[in-house]
Amino acid sequence: MKPPVLLAALLLLPASLASAGQPPPVRSVPAVASDAGIPGVHQQGSTTTAAEAGARPSWRWPLAPRPPVLRSFDPPPKPWLSGHRGVDLGFTAGGTGVLSPAPGTVSFVGVVVDRPVITIDHGDGLRSSFEPVESTLAVGAAVGAGEVIGTALPGHCRAAQCLHWGVRDGDEYVNPLQFILDLRPSILLPLAGGP
């Protein structure tokens, strides 16, 4: 390492660490999806306990084949402000079936404002909502992972057909993609036998 670069690196370290010869502390950074099919998908806001513990994603995509993410999760900084509390998934064919991403029970089927919505309660405080979706299921119906819960309708996105998928953990909206993609941050570790 060149002396000016080494000096600059030492100046950036806290004095207590630089003098002790310890590496700098690791700062947490927003997680970025490592999946090459969805560049730039950022996880924002809080995550569930399972996600914080490093749990692997275990849900399925609610559309098949795997849809493109047209709009990412972008929650507001305060609950009463505007933001995007879910993800928009693209689809091309009319009559596309919407699949339950995990087992659960239908907890709501109806119209919210002017859009048909279906909500699946997955247990442990997790609920998925999809709109606009037309469904013949009734509240209380049990659904399995991958089971068709309704038909995606056009009308949510202006420029393309899309399905809005939101997930709540208790009263808080969380990024739905954390349940199907590994959004944990990448961490660089030293090589074995290195300095």
The pLDDT tens digits for 109-143 are 999 998 999 999 999 999 999 999 999 999 999 99
**Which pLDDT belongs to residue 54?**
41
**Which pLDDT belongs to residue 112?**
92
Q: How many angstroms separate the CA atoms of 97 and 94, rounded?
A: 9
The CATH number assigned to the domain with range 49-179 reads: 2.70.70.10
Q: What percent of the chain has pLDDT over 70?
A: 70
Q: How many angstroms separate the CA atoms of 94 and 153, rounded?
A: 7
CB atoms within 10 A of CB 124: 10
CB contact set of 15 (below 8 Å; sequence gap of 6+): none
Residue type, 144: G
- pTM here is 0.67
Cis peptide bond upstream of 65, omega within 30: yes
pLDDT digits (tens, 9 = 90+) for 32-49: 333 334 433 433 333 334
38 closest CA partner among 62, 77, 72, 63: 72
Domain ranges for the chain, please list them.
49-179
How confident is residue 154, by pLDDT bands cut at 50, 70 and 90? confident
Distance of alpha carbon 99 from the chain centroid? 17
**Least trusted range by pLDDT, from 1-10, 25-34, 151-160, 172-181:** 25-34
Q: How many angstroms separate the CA atoms of 146 and 144, rounded?
A: 6
Cis peptide bond upstream of 77, omega within 30: no
Q: Are 183 and 32 within 8 A, CB to CB?
A: yes
**Which pLDDT belongs to residue 56?**
56
